[in-house]
Structure 1
């Protein structure tokens, strides 16, 4: 039986039939071609539903009957009591309306308290009509959470831009002190940005994506002061000032209250509305935006590694770039020594404009290690018309008592300090950290390589025998260790240049 035939037999619309099918009250079979095939039993069920709905029986009661959780007689007896109560209420309503007509009551002057006395209800009892006349409370805690997450990601990018471009800091390795400063700045940025957006547009980027709007109780936009007060309460009571652990407690408490439908503290003098149309696409858009923001934050991090001196740099400017690059990648040990575990007070050496290495004043340095390590190779600079055109070094060892730290960090720092300074260098195509890891991998494996990037060529060649690469005895990085009883030889040439 087709759905058209079922419409005629049951006196229901197609939309009704599809609805009851979705609710599981009927389950038509499907033919081999996928079309629904209704039976006489389906029609009988629909007729029963139509009758029960006509006498105002609720859908939940009908579902319980369909699932054999209740008996029809029991359900009808309860329904009868409800109908009698409703009938009594209607009779009272009818009597009051008739009395008000007899009294010729006017809306501007009738005494409501006088007519309340005709009702057989407690004054505190709220009629169903009054409950229906209230504005629906927007809960949607997860949508609200992700909307705020998008806003916070935007604020974080602005703060990271300041750190990366203004101070050339590695935003992924800032330490506990800057973590505390970051929490404070996140709160400051929230208090600066959100009130402006709420007072000007009634929403924020995250709220806009999900369809949230905030307005005054009158329906007008919030004033800046009202928006500022609202954001301040959100920061304090909803986010716990982003303080670890305490912030999570406040967020969970807000989530629980929101899910219960309670009015949150920051919602008492304003109204939050939600446009739920096209919500699936809104969620997809929000996920995409979060992904884009994450990628953007990655490139902000990479931008912090860009050297301050760019273009046709001098040897002195190159040395500044190298020292800044060491600081960015937080290489705090001498590059001719393995990275020790635990830290024993070692400090990095600075490169000067002559290619020599200098100790920083007031910093501790490891002197005796129990193992002989070679000195850092001196870098050779070639300049043309005052601009640096080539950097190189060469090292050779034949002493079986010397352990040689791998050259990955030194070669990577030397390469990036020049490549990233070129005008042709493109951050998006070749992020610094990716380039750093590429060079470091070759250098740590003592493998020959040639790299061409931004018009700069980097070449390294290794020649060694009688050595094996293994982890340093007192450190976490690798070294070349002489093999006992074998003749040892090591030679490396490294060169960076422009053609």
Structure 2
């Protein structure tokens, strides 16, 4: 790492106003801190930051606070030992004491804290915009308060920025965003991969239930617990009767899971939504994809469809869905994503819907 942050004597000759370079460098550093928190939250603490409770405004505040905390923890260390951060290094910027040496850790922490409070306005809405504008104007005329008050300054490699730094910055930002997307894909599936025992499959199921906040509990034998905190995606309107899905697991003589199946039925008195789609998704996430060591990108719309009977291959597995309807039709037959059921006519009796979903080794 030190080879990337190695000092060059000519660096210490120039003071750096360059507000746009400094802002872009700070923005890239914050992206990296956010990526680190994203990986820790999703992969270690199993927090799905994009859904349910974790998508509300309260968690947004927590998410921002953790990002700032990581900045306060990491940046002073980087400035003390290497004199720069990834973003500053990319734009040829260094932070140095007035004598040209790297700054002390205490000085680096004080500088970073002042950047947060005075430079970023404590991340307060609207106030941060005002502070960024005022600091942009100030940066073109004189040293910034966090540099001046801590006896340090930013120096740069060249007065006129090299052309390659902009595409390098765009590439670096794209890589961070790509890594964040990859973290999300990886965390969206459980850790047990390949052939799995019943206990590993159940562990996968409950991990998916918690992570995706579907609200169900899977018993040690692979069946759904009756103490589910919610009914997942079983959403109906106007008195459609809801039924608990029945899940079964088949194993071979060595105890490895060879097939999982779900069956659910309901009588529809008016309008209803296809039931238990969360359980079907759970089986794909907990068994189908990890069995084949595939990502979510491998799921095609013809397998995730809730409207058609089909038999499809998923690697070495066979996925089968059988749908039976009586006295029902799709509310929007031209919309493949429209999963609402409605009776064929107002006088229809005994309208019934049944869905069987199965994944098995071939």
Tell me the residue number matched to 1:390. Answer: 259
Superposition pairs of residues 94-493 of structure 1, within 5 angstroms: 137-173=15-51, 174=54, 175-259=56-140, 261-268=141-148, 269-276=151-158, 279-331=162-214, 348-360=215-227, 370-384=238-252, 385-395=254-264, 401=269, 405-406=273-274, 408-422=277-291, 424-426=292-294, 430=295, 432=296, 434-435=297-298, 438=301, 441-443=304-306, 445-453=307-315, 455-464=316-325, 466-470=327-331, 478-484=339-345, 490-493=353-356
Tell me the residue number matched to 1:72. Answer: none
CA distance in 2, matches of 1:177, 1:215: 38
Pick the structure with more helix per residue. Answer: 1
Shift of the alpha carbon at 1:178? 2.9
Deviations 1:47-98 (A, max 9, x none): xxxxxxxxxxxxxxxxxxxxxxxxxxxxxxxxxxxxxxxxxxxxxxxxxxxx
Change (3 A) 1:477 1:328: farther
**8 Å CA contact retained: 2:240, 2:269:** yes
Change (3 A) 1:489 1:358: closer
Deviations 1:373-392 (A, max 9, x none): 34133012101222211001
**8 Å CA contact retained: 2:243, 2:265:** no
Deviations 1:315-344 (A, max 9, x none): 34433422332333333xxxxxxxxxxxxx
Tell me the residue number matched to 2:4. Answer: none
**8 Å CA contact retained: 2:216, 2:229:** no
CA distance in 1, matches of 2:171, 2:128: 26
CA distance in 2, matches of 1:249, 1:293: 28
Deviations 1:131-159 (A, max 9, x none): xxxx7652221221111111111111111
CA distance in 2, matches of 1:359, 1:477: 29
Change (3 A) 1:140 1:470: farther
**CA RMSD, 1 decimal:** 3.2
Q: How many residues align?
A: 335
**8 Å CA contact retained: 1:412, 1:439:** no
Change (3 A) 1:402 1:494: farther
Secondary structure at the counterpart of residue 263 of structure 1: coil
Q: Which has the higher contact order (CA 8 A, sep 6+)?
A: 2
**8 Å CA contact retained: 2:223, 2:248:** no
In structure 1, runs of 5+ residues without a counterpart are 1-134, 332-347
Change (3 A) 1:319 1:486: same
CA distance in 2, matches of 1:447, 1:363: 27
CA distance in 1, matches of 2:313, 2:130: 51
TM-score, with length taken from structure 1: 0.60
Shift of the alpha carbon at 1:463? 4.2
Secondary structure at the counterpart of residue 391 of structure 1: strand
In structure 2, runs of 5+ residues without a counterpart are 1-12
**8 Å CA contact retained: 1:215, 1:221:** yes
**8 Å CA contact retained: 2:216, 2:230:** no
CA distance in 2, matches of 1:369, 1:461: 23
Shift of the alpha carbon at 1:191? 1.5
Secondary structure at the counterpart of residue 357 of structure 1: coil
CA distance in 2, matches of 1:223, 1:363: 54
**8 Å CA contact retained: 2:248, 2:261:** yes
**8 Å CA contact retained: 1:172, 1:301:** no
Deviations 1:441-465 (A, max 9, x none): 412x335251414x43322233445
Secondary structure at the counterpart of residue 116 of structure 2: helix
Shift of the alpha carbon at 1:311? 4.5
